[in-house]
Chain A
Amino acid sequence: MPAVRGDGMRGLAVFISDIRNCKSKEAEVKRINKELANIRSKFKGDKTLDGYQKKKYVCKLLFIFLLGHDIDFGHMEAVNLLSSNKYTEKQIGYLFISVLVNTNSDLIKLIVQSIKNDLGSRNPVHVNLALQCIANIGSKEMADAFGNDIPKLLVSGETMDVVKQSAALCLLRLFRTTQEIIPGGEWTSRIIHLLNDQHMGVVTAACSLIEALVKKNPDEYKGCVSLAVSRLSRIVTASYTDLQDYTYYFVPAPWLSVKLLRLLQHYPPPEDPGVRGRLNECLDTILNKAQEPPKSKKVQHSNAKNAVLFEAISIIIHSDSEPNLLVRACNQLGQFLSHRETNLRYLALETMCLLATSEFSHEAVKKHQETVINALKTERDVSVRQRAVDLLYAMCDRSNAEEIVQEMLNYLETADYSIREEMVLKVAILAEKYAQDYTWYVDVILNLIRIAGDYVSEEVWYRVIQIVVNREDVQGYAAKTVFEALQAPACHENMVKVGGYILGEFGNLIAGDSRSAPAVQFQLLHSKYHLCSPGTRALLLTTYIKFINLFPEIKGQIQEVLKSNSNLRSSDAELQQRASEYLHLSITTTTDVLATVLEEMPPFTEKESSILAVLKKKSGRMSAQEAQKEARVQARENNAVPALEKVQNAQLNNSTSADLLGLSTPPATQNNNQSNTGVLVDVLGDLYGGSNSNTHNGTSSSPSLTSSGAVDNIKKFVCKNNGVLYENDIIQIGIKSEFRQNLGRIGVFYGNKTSMPLQGFTPAVSVGPGQQGKVTVQVKPVEPSVDAGAQVQQLVNCECVEDFNGLPDLSVSFTYGNVPQRLALRLPLSCNKFFEPTDMNGESFFARWKNLSAPAQEAQKIFKATSPMENASIKTKLLGFGMQLLEGIDPNPDNYVCAAIIHTRTQQIGCLLRLEPNRQAEMYRLTIRASKESTSSILAELLAEQF
């Protein structure tokens, strides 16, 4: 038994020795049960235990817990220890609580008082115990109980440094659960100024806190930028002896340096040229130091130095504005690619992925292509190889695509099973994105199926078929190639599917060659038939009926197959049905009918590659950083596409009415194309953002593309209060709202449509510049998780202070299957919601109308009708808008006039409306007059889009 320090508990040491001497698991369990029974009886016994004994037994329980056994008693004894006047007993009590108590609220109520006492103690050791315990539990109750004390402790001049450090981090922990805990106002600058503290430990701890605060509210803490830069500058230029014990293996204050660099990454490059210059100097110095010979051979020296270096590179990439620094960073990482430390190679590959996305350093990264390919072949660690794959994917462009795709295909043959599927997707995307010659694309995909057929998902082979169907120039080649591929004795079922589909459509293009005559094609396909699953057989049956149309000469042969018992009486209903229907189709119909029914498939319409969405879903490690990376790749791509290319794309769009290469066209073009194609899109289109597609409701800059089939109905809510606001494959968001005078209540219902819970569910409402100070919204919090199939309701209370423009933002973020999602929506809260309809007769209407004759009080809009000009629907819209429809007042019975009052906190605004339809011209003229000048144009703006 090794020596036990301090006043070790002998009984505990003996017990631990006993456990270690147990020969079997059973013996250990027996010994533990004996001890548990002993402790239980001691705790229950009448004899009062003294502090030492309590401490010893609590410690034994802790040890048993750490061995992996459940502990269901002893909590009260531990709580008692907290109020002991002996430090060692108190300390064990706190330890038990921090290890065993998660957020059990009953117990927490009991310990709050003890913690409060210790927090007020004169002895810093006691205060720290209390702070560490609060930080450990970190629950809402803790935030409520100590939210006042801890900020004071942090900035008070009387607090000792060691306590300040713990207080800063304790506050940070509570801030993460309860954001309101941080007082604003003058506290902001006091907290920021901790960056100037004399004590390095205090600065380090405070820096973590400030980083979290900045993340939440960058504007309020903007003042920290210059302080952080000057602190960083002092450290970077310090010699390693300056900082005494804060120098770590000859590296001055690496922890603080990294924290400061992290903090600065939450801001764009400083605007002040002085601060910016200083920061760049620091980054320059860090890059220079990386080139100096190491001051120590120890790995700790290199790790600490490079930790700072990587963080510096990270900020260089983040600002993406200093080409010189970016290229230097890239060269430095290039050196690491062949470093003997696996860790450095791993990080260099990872960081280079980001550099590859910057237009300034993309070319510099490409210089290392050979090394990266080599890493793919020689690295012994699969996680490093995975990084190499990622980097190759990121550095790929038109110039090196063929080579990179070929290398990835080569590697795929021996690649680890764990990364094959992702690699297949990546190869498929690169091949499609950079194909200049579609024969190459077809070759690549068929190779993928040949090499890794099991990992080729449906999306990949669907995609190759879509592309072949849509591109006439590649169809003959595709038919020839699949025909050859199918001749391999063992070919993957996915190959049979692709082959079956393509030959069924385009087999005629190669039928002239006797080696691939119709009968040969049919025999070849049919030789695979019996080895395939029912799904593939069903596909092949369709190929066969298509053959009957393409090649009447083999009709008899095919009919025989359809007639065979295994098909016509197949146990699979689908096969049976297809066989019998196809057979009768071929027997009873004329060739003309047959030719019409079995005509070549029309081109597929397409918005974007479905494979990319799958890749994003698949790689569970899609972090915010990854999303940024992807977004930047897209941005660079769009810039890099040469003008000629764009023209070609445009032509291509016109000729085939679908963009095959959804990826290489700027998204904006796609949007335009869509909105030109149908009225439906227009109806769902953007109401408030004009032509700017960024303000579209929907997933914006979201890492995932699950918005497929997303429907956003925000525009309709101008004239209604209830209904479905937004819906995609994952979530449905419904609205129920009611308004009275200047107050309103909106119920937002979030329904999870999937079979997995939505985690980290945080809907947030924020008012934009048009509503700032004019409307208040109060949002009730919701649970952070929405269970599968469940619906949660969130109440939003609102008040109209004065007339306002636009709608508040509703941003919903959550994680679905590890993929973060963000929906940028609008809350249907527009100014007209606070209308109260007002009835009046014709005389008073016109009297009021004349009263409001100042030019600024009137807003008029003339616009084209976008939906049928039916009386009933116009009335419904006007009523839904919230105004009283005054019938029989206007001399022209075709016109509509309305009146209402908007209630705000400060005033009532009278509003009158006149809508004049012109059915011949399909136009409307809308005139609104309001007693407040700004209001009329707001209302006209809202309503004009509704007809």
Chain B
Amino acid sequence: MMQFMLLFSRQGKLRLQKWYEAYPDKIKKKITRELISTILTRKPKMSSFLEWKDLKIVYKRYASLYFCCAIEQDDNELLTLEVIHRYVELLDKYFGSVCELDIIFNFEKAYFMLDELMVGGEVCETSKKSVLKAIAAQDLLQEDEAVEGALREIGLY
């Protein structure tokens, strides 16, 4: 089971955090700080895996963003790299060549997308099409509500 996922920039700024295991806020901050500084000091050719306490850390850098997951001993490191990649693909498809700014300004969308891919720390849906379809359905609801709102404003609804 994945324990948490962190997204942070090369400057060490946290952009997204998702915790699948309950930790107190203080511990969360401590873990985040430690991991960010550990990973940022690693060199490009190093392995994407490290042992950390009793967890395995899997991370990968995409442009200016690091994606970092903590998994348990029984979990598969290589496939976790591909969970990250699938998530990046989804973000990319949705935003159209995603960049760090998209995630900053639309962080809620990034969360919604992750919730479709993973539930409770396990992979839920691996099909790119299905996830995008679910997100599109959400957007459709959102647009309907927007139109409805606009109509109400001018007294037509």
Is A170 interfacial (CB-CB < 8 Å)?
yes
Q: Considering the chains assembled together, what is the distance between the CA atoms of A131 and B115 in angstroms?
A: 10
Which residue of A4, A88, A166, A620 is within 8 Å of B141 (Cβ)? A88
Assess the A131–B73 pair: CB atoms within 8 A. Answer: no
Which residue of A66, A102, A245, A311 is within 8 Å of B17 (Cβ)? A66
Is B34 interfacial (CB-CB < 8 Å)?
no
Closest to B15 in A: A66
Assess the A205–B122 pair: CB atoms within 8 A. Answer: yes
Closest to B80 in A: A307
Q: Given the interface contacts A125-B138, A343-B47, does A255 sit within 8 Å of B79 by beta carbon?
A: yes
Is B137 interfacial (CB-CB < 8 Å)?
yes
Residues facing A in B67-86 (CB within 8 A) are: 73-74, 76-79, 81-82, 85-86
Closest to B133 in A: A162
Residues of B within 8 A of A6 (CB): 139, 142-143, 146
Q: Considering the chains assembled together, what is the distance between the CA atoms of A262 and B123 in angstroms?
A: 14
Which residue of A7, A59, A125, A307 is within 8 Å of B145 (Cβ)? A7
Which residue of A95, A205, A208, A342 is within 8 Å of B46 (Cβ)? A342
Instruction: Output the least CB separation between B112 and chain A (Å).
Output: 7
Assess the B53–A818 pair: CB atoms within 8 A. Answer: yes
Instruction: Output the least CB separation between B7 and chain A (Å).
Output: 10
Residues facing B in A119-148 (CB within 8 A) are: 125, 128, 131-132, 135-136, 138-139
A-side binding surface: helix, strand, loop or mixed? Answer: helix
Assess the A303–B73 pair: CB atoms within 8 A. Answer: no
Residues of A within 8 A of B53 (CB): 620-621, 818
Assess the A138–B120 pair: CB atoms within 8 A. Answer: yes
Closest to B147 in A: A7
Assess the B125–A20 pair: CB atoms within 8 A. Answer: no
Assess the B47–A383 pair: CB atoms within 8 A. Answer: yes
0/1 interface trace, chain B 132-157, chain A, CB 8 Å (1 if under): 00100111011101100100000000
Residues facing B in A321-346 (CB within 8 A) are: 342-343, 345-346
Assess the B121–A245 pair: CB atoms within 8 A. Answer: no
Is B16 interfacial (CB-CB < 8 Å)?
yes
Instruction: Output the least CB separation between B59 and chain A (Å).
Output: 11
Residues of B within 8 A of A901 (CB): none
Assess the A621–B54 pair: CB atoms within 8 A. Answer: yes
Assess the A384–B142 pair: CB atoms within 8 A. Answer: no
Q: Considering the chains assembled together, what is the distance between the CA atoms of A170 and B122 in angstroms?
A: 10
Is A543 interfacial (CB-CB < 8 Å)?
no
Residues of B within 8 A of A92 (CB): 108
Assess the B45–A381 pair: CB atoms within 8 A. Answer: yes
Is A656 interfacial (CB-CB < 8 Å)?
no
Residues facing B in A1-48 (CB within 8 A) are: 1-2, 4-8, 13, 16, 20
Q: Considering the chains assembled together, what is the distance between the CA atoms of A169 and B137 in angstroms?
A: 21
Instruction: Output the least CB separation between A21 and chain B (Å).
Output: 13
0/1 interface trace, chain B 84-128, chain A, CB 8 Å (1 if under): 011000000011000101101111110110010001111111111
Assess the A87–B145 pair: CB atoms within 8 A. Answer: yes
Residues facing A in B7-43 (CB within 8 A) are: 14-17, 20, 22-25, 29, 43
Residues of B within 8 A of A248 (CB): 82, 86, 126
Assess the A310–B146 pair: CB atoms within 8 A. Answer: no
Q: Given the interface contacts A103-B22, A172-B122, does A20 sit within 8 Å of B46 by beta carbon?
A: no
Which residue of A255, A383, A621 is within 8 Å of B126 (Cβ)? A255
Residues of A within 8 A of B94 (CB): 5
Q: Considering the chains assembled together, what is the distance between the CA atoms of A357 and B81 in angstroms?
A: 28
Assess the B50–A201 pair: CB atoms within 8 A. Answer: no
Instruction: Output the least CB separation between B69 and chain A (Å).
Output: 14
Is A300 interfacial (CB-CB < 8 Å)?
yes
Q: Given the interface contacts A102-B24, A246-B126, does A5 sit within 8 Å of B76 by beta carbon?
A: no
Q: Given the interface contacts A7-B145, A818-B53, does A258 sit within 8 Å of B47 by beta carbon?
A: no
Q: Considering the chains assembled together, what is the distance between the CA atoms of A64 and B29 in angstroms?
A: 15
Residues of B within 8 A of A255 (CB): 79, 123, 126
Q: Considering the chains assembled together, what is the distance between the CA atoms of A92 and B123 in angstroms?
A: 22
Residues of B within 8 A of A63 (CB): 107
Assess the A170–B119 pair: CB atoms within 8 A. Answer: yes
Q: Considering the chains assembled together, what is the distance between the CA atoms of A166 and B143 in angstroms?
A: 25
Instruction: Output the least CB separation between A784 and chain B (Å).
Output: 12
Which residue of A2, A139, A310 is within 8 Å of B105 (Cβ)? A2
Q: Considering the chains assembled together, what is the distance between the CA atoms of A342 and B120 in angstroms?
A: 30
Assess the A169–B120 pair: CB atoms within 8 A. Answer: yes
Residues facing B in A454-472 (CB within 8 A) are: none
Instruction: Output the least CB separation between B81 and chain A (Å).
Output: 5
Instruction: Output the least CB separation between A52 and chain B (Å).
Output: 7
Is A173 interfacial (CB-CB < 8 Å)?
yes
Residues of B within 8 A of A8 (CB): 106
Is A491 interfacial (CB-CB < 8 Å)?
no
Assess the B76–A304 pair: CB atoms within 8 A. Answer: no
Q: Given the interface contacts A2-B105, A162-B134, does A343 sit within 8 Å of B49 by beta carbon?
A: yes
Q: Considering the chains assembled together, what is the distance between the CA atoms of A246 and B39 in angstroms?
A: 32
Residues of B within 8 A of A262 (CB): 74, 76
Q: Considering the chains assembled together, what is the distance between the CA atoms of A2 and B105 in angstroms?
A: 8
Assess the A625–B49 pair: CB atoms within 8 A. Answer: no
Q: Given the interface contacts A6-B139, A125-B141, does A205 sit within 8 Å of B124 by beta carbon?
A: yes
Instruction: Output the least CB separation between B131 and chain A (Å).
Output: 10
Which residue of A59, A91, A307 is within 8 Å of B112 (Cβ)? A91
Is A68 interfacial (CB-CB < 8 Å)?
yes
Assess the B79–A300 pair: CB atoms within 8 A. Answer: no
Closest to B24 in A: A102
Which residue of B1, B120, B139 is within 8 Å of A170 (Cβ)? B120
Q: Considering the chains assembled together, what is the distance between the CA atoms of A346 and B79 in angstroms?
A: 15
Assess the A5–B106 pair: CB atoms within 8 A. Answer: yes
Q: Considering the chains assembled together, what is the distance between the CA atoms of A200 and B15 in angstroms?
A: 32
Residues of B within 8 A of A52 (CB): 149
Assess the B78–A343 pair: CB atoms within 8 A. Answer: yes
Residues of A within 8 A of B106 (CB): 4-5, 8
Which residue of A165, A304, A620 is within 8 Å of B79 (Cβ)? A304
Instruction: Output the least CB separation between A759 and chain B (Å).
Output: 10
Which residue of B16, B43, B105, B121 is within 8 Å of A66 (Cβ)? B16
B positions within 8 Å CB-CB of A: 1, 14-17, 20, 22-25, 29, 43, 45-51, 53-54, 73-74, 76-79, 81-82, 85-86, 94-95, 99, 101-102, 104-109, 111-112, 115, 119-130, 134, 137-139, 141-143, 145-146, 149
Excluding A7-B142, A201-B124, 19 further A-B contacts by CB distance (< 8 Å) are A5-B109, A66-B14, A87-B142, A87-B145, A88-B145, A95-B111, A99-B111, A125-B141, A166-B119, A169-B124, A170-B119, A173-B120, A173-B121, A205-B119, A303-B78, A307-B77, A342-B47, A383-B46, A621-B53
15 contacts between A and B (CB under 8 A): A5-B139, A7-B146, A16-B105, A59-B108, A66-B16, A132-B115, A132-B119, A173-B20, A258-B76, A342-B46, A347-B49, A347-B78, A383-B50, A620-B53, A621-B54
CB-based closest 6 A-B pairs: A173-B120, A7-B146, A307-B78, A135-B120, A169-B119, A245-B127
